[in-house]
């Protein structure tokens, strides 16, 4: 348990077995995403170093897979979780950091 800012937070053990997305997984994530709340776009790209987030005002953010559909990044995006519909198609993602939680970005068609 970690105590920060007067709150207790339960820490989760990270196993050594990390999920690694294959080519089809990475292709499903690639695209342009929009947040109505923040009125901004992020693009998920796949290059020789793996997935990354790009934005016109911040440096590229490398995405490190934690588990299926969940990735770690660097500020301002600490955690990114892809969302899927009933057919398994990626429809968007949510992002969180120390000050914001679950900001929705919808995948543009």
User: How far, CA to CA in Å, does 89 sit from each of 25, 28, 40, 49?
Assistant: 10, 8, 22, 24
Q: Which residue, 79, 109, 84, is CA-closest to 94? A: 79
pLDDT score recorded for residue 6: 76
Instruction: Please give the average pLDDT of every successive group of 10 residues along the chain, which has 109 residues.
Output: 74 69 94 97 94 94 95 92 97 94 95
HSE (side-chain half, CA atoms, 13 Å) at 84: 10
Q: Are 104 and 92 a contacting pair, CB within 8 Å?
A: yes
| pTM confidence score | 0.82
């Amino acid at each position: 348990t970690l105590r920060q800012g007067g709150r207790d937070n339960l820490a989760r053990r990270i196993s050594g077995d990390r999920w690694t997305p294959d080519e089809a997984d990475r292709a499903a994530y690639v695209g342009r995403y929009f947040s109505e709340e923040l009125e901004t776009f992020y693009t998920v790209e796949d290059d020789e170093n793996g997935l990354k987030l790009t934005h016109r005002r911040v440096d590229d953010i490398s995405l490190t897979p934690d588990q299926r559909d969940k990735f770690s990044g660097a500020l301002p995006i600490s955690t990114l979780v892809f969302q899927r519909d009933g057919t398994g198609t990626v429809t968007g993602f949510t992002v969180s950091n120390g000050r914001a939680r679950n900001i929705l970005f919808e995948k543009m068609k």
